[in-house]
Chains A and B, each alone.
Chain A
Amino acid sequence: MSRELILDKVRIALGRTKGQQPPPLPPARIRIAEVNIDFRVAGMLQKVEALAGKTFLAGTLAEAVNYAASVIDGREAVASNAPFLRECGVTALPGVRTGVTDRVELRELCASCAVGITSADYALADTGTLVILSSGHEARMISLLPPAHIAIVPRGRILSGLDELLSILPFPAEQTSSMVLITGPSRTADIEQILVRGVHGPGEVHVIVV
């Protein structure tokens, strides 16, 4: 067993004894910018656009659904089980499947659908980021396998940035096995540094703020 060997070597090299406490850490460096909600919304939309994502600011749930319908445009779509999506009515659109709770079934569906629809637990205004915590409501694959991703986000969920997120969720692992921060469409620049979108994840990202 290499465990004891490695830990012993570490302790000997550092001159420490087993169980010795380290000096206390300084408080984490969290700096939350005070940004009012209108600026947060505007910042979020502007950053997503700058990353070549599409955005839509919906005044009502119905507007949000209409926009989503125009993006889906008759293609097959899969929606997460987030209650907010049901409230919106987007799950009732023709061609939208939802309510899947089986891992294998969901994966196959996501692999064949053109559009994945999710909500987001939070959004980060200063980077244009969607934050999704994996749960019974939000699966990992819906925002990942289909070539297009639509996220419908209530405006109150938009935080100023990463620091605020980490102050609200100091221990993300207590909530979920997977928290993902999504900042724009999937991209690569691995060949001659030329930017190409949609390499493994969705190349098309639509953020609808309600």
Chain B
Amino acid sequence: MSVVFDEKINRARGDGRLQLAIYDATARLMDKRKHALEGDNLPDFQELRDCANALKKQTIDNLDHYLEQFEANVIAHAGKVVFCKDATDVSDFILKLAKERGARLIVKSKSMTTEEIDLNERLEHHNLEAVETDLGEYIIQLAHERPYHIVAPAMHKTRYQVADLFEEKLGVPNETVIEKQTMIARGVLREKFLAADIGISGANFLIADSGAVVLVENEGNARLSTSAPKIHIAVAGIEKLIPRAQDLAVFLKLLGRSATGQPLTVYTSFLSGPRRGEEIDGPGEFYVVLLDNGRTKLLEDSGKRESLYCIRCGACLNHCPVYRKIGGHSFPWVYSGPIGAIITPQFMGLNHEPGLPFASSLCGACAEVCPVKIDIPRVLLELRADVTAAKEREGQGGLERMAFRAYAWLMRHPKLFEIAGRLASVLAPASSSGWLRGVPAIMNIPPVRAWLSQRDLPAPPHQSFRQQWRTRVPRINSR
């Protein structure tokens, strides 16, 4: 585990207010999800999960086919598809288009994919104003932070922090009533929507048989971003495809309930191409940017390919004991929680944060709730093996390996093992609770201390099992 990762974790754990905020918010989301799946609310939940998993598997295993089908259908509806290999490709395309159309102001609706490529910074660097319009994202953008959670980006902020932020950045009076804060944001953003030249959205699903972008949201900002400006650009990872519009009958039922416990979110938009013939409003130009940015690399490994099935519902974050303790900003990249732990190493390389796949208790809660049934713990284990193999190749991890080799050797030598056992009970510090909470000075070295700081060891008994065995009173079998 890197020092930075460690520090971030300790900071999050030491912040009582933050701990409570994460605990509350995730608990509430868990509750809502539970209620939405209870009793008669969705009796075929498990069947839908199997179905979603099979559909995603089919799509990802044959991705080139569905990409081409999608592209052909977007073109058939007078839209354009732009394949981009990385962040630079995307910003080059948008900057060129903005320049050609004389665009200055861009409104954005929530998109993890654009967070992934730091699109806002890139656009701002070229004097374009890019404004986030989802309330949570807007707060995060004003604070120059990364989303704390896939679904609830400003989960970690209190109303008081928002009040200070709005006062400082927007020059409004310090307002701590949440309804009024929301209305302040509404007012500022309404003007942006009406003045914007380009709207950028993400995509929850791309529909191959329709050439359509599907967006789910509660606020209406995605509808406004995609309908008010003259140009709509959807930026999506290539894995967002599903085969058919009718498959939404499976995915929409799972997504809203898993994310926020809603059978359907307030708005679900099904968008394909620019405004047509008789239609009164809607954009005049429609683009879908299909982003690789490391995804093709991930496809190679059939064992971990399923990481791309994710529909970003956030359920695995809410149910993860590690996420709930260390929070979203401790994670080394934009994607946090269990899904972040499996895709970050695959997108960014193992060295980005080698400790990440190990920051899990492998309790399996994530796999149990995942609506598309990604076996996250299994992928984590594979990644751990990869990290260990890489360390070995680089000749690292020697100390740990030596310790385990020594232990294995000791286990194979019964006499020595017994002596070591006796030594342990002599050397171990006194313990009144029956648990070891510290180590003797001679062993108080960082790796041992760090290891013990998270674990309780039972204090060694005065007599070892072998000693007791030898002195036992033989009992006569009475039967």
Question: How big is chain B's contact interface, by range?
Answer: 35 or more
Residues of A within 8 A of B178 (CB): 191-192, 194, 196
Contact flag A201-B282 (CB < 8 Å), given A171-B209, A179-B270 = no
Cβ contacts B146-166/A at 8 Å (1 or 0 each)? 000000111101110010000
Instruction: Give the docked Cα–Cα distance between A102 and B245 (Å).
Output: 31
Cβ contacts A5-48/B at 8 Å (1 or 0 each)? 11101110110101011110110111100000000000000000
**Do B219 and A201 touch across chains, with their CB atoms under 8 A apart?**
yes
**Do A22 and B266 touch across chains, with their CB atoms under 8 A apart?**
no
Q: State how many angstroms separate the Cβ of A28 from the closest Cβ of chain B.
A: 4
The reply on A66 being an interface residue by CB < 8 A is no
**Do A192 and B159 touch across chains, with their CB atoms under 8 A apart?**
yes
**Do B58 and A23 touch across chains, with their CB atoms under 8 A apart?**
yes
The reply on A144 being an interface residue by CB < 8 A is yes
**Do B249 and A136 touch across chains, with their CB atoms under 8 A apart?**
no
State which of A81, A111, A190, A201 has its C-beta within 8 Å of the C-beta of B220. Answer: A201
Q: State how many angstroms separate the Cβ of B24 from the closest Cβ of chain A.
A: 7
Contact flag A173-B245 (CB < 8 Å), given A2-B84, A22-B65, A139-B280 = yes
Residues of B within 8 A of A139 (CB): 279-281
**Do B220 and A6 touch across chains, with their CB atoms under 8 A apart?**
no
The reply on A163 being an interface residue by CB < 8 A is yes
Cβ contacts B182-216/A at 8 Å (1 or 0 each)? 10011001100110000000000001011110000
Interface of A is mostly: loop
Q: State how many angstroms separate the Cβ of B470 from the closest Cβ of chain A.
A: 61
Residues of A within 8 A of B136 (CB): 188, 190-191
Residue of B nearest to A104 (CB): B281
Contact flag A13-B280 (CB < 8 Å), given A23-B58, A201-B220 = no
Give the interface segment out of B97-105, B223-231, B439-447: B223-231
The reply on B218 being an interface residue by CB < 8 A is yes
Residues of A within 8 A of B87 (CB): none
Instruction: Give the docked Cα–Cα distance between A192 and B133 (Å).
Output: 18
State which of B243, B274, B279, B281 has its C-beta within 8 Å of the C-beta of A107. Answer: B281
**Do B54 and A26 touch across chains, with their CB atoms under 8 A apart?**
yes
**Do B266 and A171 touch across chains, with their CB atoms under 8 A apart?**
no
Instruction: Give the docked Cα–Cα distance between A18 and B162 (Å).
Output: 52
Contact flag A25-B227 (CB < 8 Å), given A6-B292, A166-B249 = no
**Do B223 and A201 touch across chains, with their CB atoms under 8 A apart?**
yes
**Do A193 and B24 touch across chains, with their CB atoms under 8 A apart?**
yes
Number of A-B contacts (CB under 8 A): 265
Residues of A within 8 A of B223 (CB): 140, 144, 180, 200-201
Contact flag A100-B162 (CB < 8 Å), given A10-B296, A170-B246, A200-B186 = no
State which of B61, B219, B263, B270 has its C-beta within 8 Å of the C-beta of A178. Answer: B270
Instruction: Give the docked Cα–Cα distance between A127 and B238 (Å).
Output: 30
Instruction: Give the docked Cα–Cα distance between A126 and B296 (Å).
Output: 40
State which of B48, B58, B135, B274 has its C-beta within 8 Å of the C-beta of A188. Answer: B135
The reply on A116 being an interface residue by CB < 8 A is no
For the complex of A and B, list the 6 residue pairs with the smallest distance between their C-beta atoms, beginning with the closest: A201-B220, A136-B278, A22-B62, A190-B136, A28-B246, A173-B272
Chain B residues proximal to chain A, CB less than 8 Å: 21, 24-25, 28, 44, 48, 51, 54-55, 58, 61-68, 73, 77, 83-85, 89, 133-136, 139, 152-155, 157-159, 162, 178-179, 181-182, 185-186, 189-190, 193-194, 207, 209-212, 218-221, 223-224, 227-228, 238, 243-250, 252-253, 260, 262-282, 286, 290, 292, 296-297, 299-300
24 A-B pairs within 8 Å (CB atoms) are namely: A2-B83, A6-B238, A10-B64, A10-B296, A10-B299, A13-B296, A20-B65, A21-B65, A22-B58, A30-B249, A106-B281, A134-B275, A140-B280, A177-B77, A178-B270, A181-B264, A183-B267, A190-B154, A191-B136, A191-B154, A196-B182, A199-B135, A200-B190, A200-B193
18 other A-B residue contacts (CB within 8 Å) besides A7-B64, A135-B279, A191-B136: A6-B296, A13-B297, A14-B64, A22-B58, A29-B247, A101-B280, A103-B280, A106-B280, A134-B275, A145-B224, A166-B245, A173-B210, A177-B274, A179-B270, A182-B267, A186-B220, A190-B153, A200-B193
